[in-house]
Amino acid sequence: MKSSVENDVIIVGGGPAGSTVGALLAMKNRRVLLLESEKFPRYHIGESLVPGVLPVLDELQVLDKVRAHGFIQKNGITFVWGKNSETWTIRFDEKSPAAKKYGSTFQVIRSEFDNLLLRHAESQGVDVREEHKVIDVIFEGDRCNGVKYINSQGEVKEARASYVVDASGQAAVLGKYFDIVDYDPRLKSVATWAYFKGVAPEIEERRGNILVESTPYGWLWVIPQHNERTSVGWVAWATKYKELLDGSIATTFAKVLASSSEAHRRLEEAQQDSEIYSTRDWSYRCRQLTGPGFLMVGDAAGFVDPLFSTGVWLATKAASLGAQIINELLENPAREQECMTFYEASYQHFLGQILDFVRYFYDSSRTQKEYFYKAQGILDSEKKDTARSDFIQLISGVSGLHRFLESGGNAPIGVEYQKG
């Protein structure tokens, strides 16, 4: 059904969430306008993808393009974590259905990955306007039906649509408009990172893995990239950050790396090849994710924590569900409340599931087995599988959505889902 409004959907933001919603709706012949404030390719952090992303890339029909791009293939995670600070490794294909079906996931350079997804959305018919910044949302009564934006010529314009999707990432345009962003006081960190050349490659069986190593009051990541550089980051608890600072950020970062075990070993011959980046890394979510005429996806809805590299997966998974919901509502507007309630419950459920596990894992004084049993408690209370398998499935991007459906949440639409 074509409505009389100029667009079926307006999407705010062209990151992975916005490109995914846009492409999937355009593939259903919906008229989609996507407004992105930056000019792509643009820099972004968030470079390690879990296998749960792969089914969505397949649904988008972009998986072959992503594979052909040459990103580093990621098969698992190497941890230095837990009571004995030992090194241990998991491979996703030990358990993850997505890894078994599609093979490796990827360590991506986000400017390239995000640009690939945005160009793909455009090729599917999305009207992508870069350097178009949304400055306000427009309501008629309580119904969101458009946005106000500044275009690349600096002119203020308005656009209308049947639905507005907020995919603006941490800018959280709608969340801030309604003032409904709740921060989690237990997960506040400061992230510091840089890119290095000459990092020693991992041994063959761990090659391409992300390294996740605990440090006093925080942790480190080491992520190989396909341009010969390696992304190395340090996440420190915000409550301890001032105490941990020993000189400048740069000298503290260098000292933390030097006192690590596995990361230090890999970095012995390496040279820093970029500036040092730093950001506050607060966990948050919006109290409400939907309403009349609007829906939020990705970081605009909530951000858990970088620890398990779940951001892009959550963003694209929610975007896939959001696209199915909006497509249904464009056909059957009377079902809005029912469908939006389902989206809201599913999304809050899978944000909650990851959050619960991340909080538990942050206590690095536990044993591996304790982490595995915790994952089993979340995913598999009847213990149908081994605890290690449940752990792998959880951190591969097990879709909270399928758990929600299996545990009795009634999908109002024929939601298609694939396990991560």
Which residues lie near ligand FAD (CB under 6 A)?
12-18, 35-38, 44-49, 133-134, 167-169, 171, 173, 191, 279, 281, 298-300, 303, 306, 309-313, 315
Give how far the C-alpha of residue 149 lies from the chain's centroid of Cα atoms, to the nearest Å. 25
Supply the angle between the helices 336-361 and 387-395 in degrees, to the nearest 10: 120
Tokens standing for residue 51: 């296998």
Q: Are strands 229-237 and 218-224 parallel, antiparallel or unpaired?
A: antiparallel
- Alpha-carbon distance values, 125 to 8, 22, 33, 64, 163 (Å): 13, 9, 9, 19, 17
Closest to ligand FAD by CB, 80 or 387:
80
Closest to ligand FAD by CB, 14 or 51:
14
- Report, in Å, the least distance between residue 73 CB and ligand FAD: 15
Distance (Å, rounded) from C-alpha 294 to C-alpha 166?
Answer: 8
- Report, in Å, the least distance between residue 263 CB and ligand FAD: 15
Distance (Å, rounded) from C-alpha 266 to C-alpha 194?
Answer: 15
- Report, in Å, the least distance between residue 346 CB and ligand FAD: 17
Closest to ligand FAD by CB, 71 or 376:
71
- Report, in Å, the least distance between residue 134 CB and ligand FAD: 4
Closest to ligand FAD by CB, 15 or 97:
15
- Report, in Å, the least distance between residue 408 CB and ligand FAD: 29
Task: Fill in the amino acid letter for 358.
Answer: V
Distance (Å, rounded) from C-alpha 260 to C-alpha 211?
Answer: 12
Distance (Å, rounded) from C-alpha 178 to C-alpha 139?
Answer: 12
- Report, in Å, the least distance between residue 35 CB and ligand FAD: 5
- Report, in Å, the least distance between residue 12 CB and ligand FAD: 5
Based on its alpha-carbon atoms, the radius of gyration of the chain, rounded to whole angstroms, reads 21
Closest to ligand FAD by CB, 280 or 383:
280
Contact in structure between 16 and 316 (CB atoms under 8 Å): yes
- Report, in Å, the least distance between residue 111 CB and ligand FAD: 10
Closest to ligand FAD by CB, 175 or 291:
175
- Alpha-carbon distance values, 298 to 30, 198, 302, 318 (Å): 21, 34, 7, 7
Q: Are strands 218-224 and 210-215 parallel, antiparallel or unpaired?
A: antiparallel
Closest to ligand FAD by CB, 27 or 118:
118
Closest to ligand FAD by CB, 316 or 376:
316
Could you tell me which residues come within 8 angstroms of residue 177 by beta carbon, excluding any fewer than 6 positions away? 136, 137
Tokens standing for residue 403: 């758990």
